[in-house]
Amino acid sequence: MPKYDFPENLRAAQLSLLETRTAYEQYVTTLPWSAEPMPGWEGDKQLHSSYRSHKEDSPGYTEAQAAEVARFRAELLRLSAEVVTHPYWQSLSGPDLVDARMVLQHAHESAEGEAA
């Protein structure tokens, strides 16, 4: 029996937040290393190492890429606020509140295990 009985809309918002964050992180790995055009660089050789740090020139983000990043960030902000300000949290206090917030972050894992 779960320790906390989270409302379904809170669980759904937390899962949407997790999925959106994952999609955002995957998307940004495809982007240039700098949002603005920037020249590349090569670091100095370090003592006792053959490794040289470097970055290629960055063309910066296209307008479409910048818009997609902004869209992801706005959605992450909206979902974060929805989770954090949910009325359910007012029914808890002290250590229970902190514990419940931590449990909610992994609530989808137990739901996936039950469905399998």
Please state, in angstroms and rounded to a whole number, the distance separating the CA atoms of residues 37 and 40. 10
Give 65-74 contacts, CB < 8 A, sequence gap 24+. Answer: 65/31, 66/35, 68/27, 69/27, 69/28, 69/31, 69/35, 72/20, 72/23, 72/24, 72/27, 73/24
Angle 72-103-79 from CA coordinates, rounded to 5° = 20
Give percent of the chain above pLDDT 70: 92
Whole-model pTM: value is 0.82
State the pLDDT at residue 92: 92
pLDDT band for 1, please (50, 70, 90 cuts): very low
Q: Which helix (H) or strand (E) holds 36?
A: none
